């Protein structure tokens, strides 16, 4: 995994920068390096689009401090290269050396936003707030930025789009101007950062296409300092990936890196495999009130691997009618041996469902809990205790609302923030509190799992939001459960009697793979010969095999 596709908190970024700042041989040496990278990215964007008559200028939005200095030095480099560059100063202070360099290179300083010539700009560089901004844009600036967004000119943000909180990805409250909502942040087409990603890059669509590049002083590189620092601090390890590559709008130089899809493990059966050795998954889902949840979960499990799917629930004949390859029964006691259980989608929350959940938590196999199982977990302390005490892999798969209810039920023991306000800290604390893996579902899905004394987190950007449709979570549960069973079976085949912890790790590896496959399947399901169109959970499940093939390591 490339070092620069890990994400770090702001405190780690600042700590890693300090030795480089101390080693500078001249003022602003590190800032000029960052600005040079910004100028290269800007030139790439400028040369990748056709020039329209009269549309030729670059506009730099300049804030206080280092971010504004980056913008002015980058503007100076562009001006020196022959581009006409304007800069509007919007901070309370200005970086004086950068300002002087900008003017010496031929840049133009504006007293305020241009009134009549917004349509003349080919590119806007956002250097307002960066990682230090947490309160959002000023009202007057937000109004002007909204007008810039209406232009055709792309926006390149430095470090983090201004107004987006770097450690959480949270957007500030919008303003209401003349009865219309005006965002208090920039939405970038491209965001360029240095050394490593910030958490916001894994959490916010406002970042657009994310690029990271290294900067260094003498032999000290920022990326290396971040890697060493993270090994010593308490912050969680966050690895950023995507289900799909960014659209190829620009041909970036090789110095720039981006989060990318990670290849998934091949699932082709070997010559000695049979229906049992590829990982038998059991699905405990559905009820008279929600029969569709069982069908969706089973459908995904069938399409995820070539191995057996067992179903336990009401109306098993309906499951077999839809999927004749499934072995279905009404009672848990009659299910037979499985290698992973998926429990909860549409199953209900009555006493019978609670007893079933308690029984599956006693099973000596991995378990994935979703939907109604999470509601039961929030209601019953003894079930949460059972999760904590399991030596086998246990995975919780909540959306933000389910997560918040579960966290609220645990307030007496641990402070877990709202995942919509601080998702990285929230998922880390829940995974620690219950000593299990957690999948926080969304456009940006976070997967947290224990690795020794700390929590590791993988952030997967689906690349699109086509999975925002009813039942897609049930599809993900069936998909992830089947791949967990596959990993579990493969681990047991390669090691005669692995320890429970070895089984745990092999199952956790399957989670990010499953999320990526789900994201690609959702996108594929929305494609038609005439363009994208509405999709559904059933269609997402249909495209799991094709998505798996696209991502499989070859």
Binding site per annotation, positions: 293, 346, 399, 441-445, 473-474
Q: Please check whether residue 491 is in contact with residue 509, taking contact to mean a CB–CB distance below 8 angstroms.
A: no
User: Environment class of residue 148 by beta-carbon count within 10 Å: exposed (0-12), middle (13-18) or buried (19+)?
Assistant: middle
Q: Please check whether residue 307 is in contact with residue 275, taking contact to mean a CB–CB distance below 8 angstroms.
A: yes
User: For helices 222-232 and 10-22, what crossing angle results, to 10°?
Assistant: 130
Annotate 461-499 with DSSP letters as a single string. E-SS-TT-STTHHHHHHHHHHHHHHHHHHHHHHHSSS--
d(CA 266, CA 278): 12
User: In which residue are the tokens 């050394």 written?
Assistant: 195
Cα maximum dimension of the chain = 81
CA-to-CA dists, residue 250 to 44, 49, 58, 149, angstroms: 7, 9, 18, 19
Residues 6+ apart with CB under 8 A from 68: 62, 89, 91, 94, 95, 98, 127, 128
Write out the binding residues for AMP: 441-445, 473
**What sections of 435-464 are H helices per DSSP?**
none
Helix (H, G, I), strand (E, B) or coil at 229: helix
Backbone angles phi, psi at 126, to 5 degrees: -90, 105
Q: Which strands, in side-by-side order, build the sheet including 309-312?
A: 197-198, 6-8, 237-242, 454-461, 444-451, 437-440, 394-396, 367-369, 340-343, 281-284, 309-312, 327-329
CA-angle at 274, arms to 271 and 280, nearest 5°? 135
Residue 190 token pair = 């491209």
- Within 10 A of 528 (CB to CB), how many other CB atoms are there? 10
Q: Closest by alpha carbon to 47, among 123, 143, 136, 101?
A: 123
d(CA 161, CA 165): 9
Helix (H, G, I), strand (E, B) or coil at 96: helix
Write out the binding residues for (6S)-NADPHX: 293, 346, 399, 474
Q: Closest by alpha carbon to 513, among 474, 486, 473, 541?
A: 486
Q: Which H or E run contains 126?
A: strand 121-127
């Amino acid at each position: 995994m490339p070092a620069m596709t890990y994400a770090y908190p702001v405190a780690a970024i600042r700590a890693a920068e300090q030795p480089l700042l101390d080693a500078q041989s001249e003022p602003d040496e590190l800032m000029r390096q960052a600005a040079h990278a910004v100028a290269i990215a800007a030139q790439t964007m400028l040369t990748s689009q056709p020039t329209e008559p009269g549309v030729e200028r670059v506009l730099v939005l300049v804030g206080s401090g280092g971010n504004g200095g980056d913008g002015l030095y980058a503007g100076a480099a562009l001006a020196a290269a022959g581009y006409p560059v304007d800069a509007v100063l919007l901070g309370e202070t200005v970086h004086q050396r950068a300002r002087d360099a900008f003017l010496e290179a031929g840049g133009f300083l504006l007293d305020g936003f241009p009134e009549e010539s917004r349509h003349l700009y080919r590119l806007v560089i956002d250097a307002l707030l960066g990682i230090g901004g947490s309160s959002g844009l000023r009202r007057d600036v937000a109004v002007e930025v909204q007008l810039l967004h209406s232009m055709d000119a792309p926006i390149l943000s430095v470090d983090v789009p201004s107004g987006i909180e770097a450690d959480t990805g949270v957007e500030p409250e919008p303003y209401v101007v003349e009865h219309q909502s005006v965002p208090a942040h920039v939405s970038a087409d491209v965001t360029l950062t240095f050394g490593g990603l910030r958490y916001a890059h894994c959490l916010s669509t406002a970042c657009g296409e994310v690029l990271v590049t290294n900067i260094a002083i003498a032999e000290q590189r920022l990326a290396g300092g971040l890697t060493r620092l993270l090994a010593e601090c308490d912050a969680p390890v966050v690895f950023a990936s995507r289900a799909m590559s960014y659209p190829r709008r620009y041909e970036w130089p090789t110095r720039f890196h981006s989060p990318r899809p990670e290849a998934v493990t091949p699932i082709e059966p070997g010559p000695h495999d049979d229906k049992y050795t590829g990982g038998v998954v059991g699905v405990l889902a559905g009820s008279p009130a929600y029969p569709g949840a069982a069908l969706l979960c089973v459908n995904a499990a069938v399409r995820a691997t070539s191995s057996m799917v067992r179903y336990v629930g009401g109306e098993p004949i309906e499951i077999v009618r839809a999927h004749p390859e499934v072995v279905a029964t009404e009672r848990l006691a009659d299910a037979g041996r499985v290698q992973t259980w998926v429990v909860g989608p549409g199953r209900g929350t009555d006493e019978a469902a609670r007893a079933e959940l308690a029984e599956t938590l006693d099973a000596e196999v991995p378990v994935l809990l979703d939907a109604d199982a999470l509601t039961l977990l929030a209601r019953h302390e003894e079930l949460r205790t059972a999760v904590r005490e399991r030596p086998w892999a246990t995975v919780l798969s909540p959306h933000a609302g389910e997560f918040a209810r579960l966290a609220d039920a645990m307030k007496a023991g641990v402070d877990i923030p709202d995942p919509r306000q601080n998702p990285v800290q929230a998922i880390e604390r829940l995974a620690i509190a219950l000593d299990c893996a957690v999948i926080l579902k969304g456009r940006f899905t976070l997967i947290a799992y224990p690795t020794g004394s700390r929590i590791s987190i993988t952030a997967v950007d689906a690349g699109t939001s086509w999975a925002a449709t009813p039942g897609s979570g049930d599809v993900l549960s069936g998909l992830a459960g089947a791949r967990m069973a596959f990993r579990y079976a493969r681990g047991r085949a390669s090691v005669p009697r692995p320890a429970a912890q070895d089984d745990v790790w092999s199952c956790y590896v399957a989670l990010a793979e499953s999320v990526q496959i789900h994201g690609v399947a959702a996108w594929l399901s929305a494609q038609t010969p005439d363009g994208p169109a509405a999709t559904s959970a059933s269609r997402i499940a249909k495209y799991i095999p094709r998505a798996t093939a696209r991502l499989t390591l070859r």
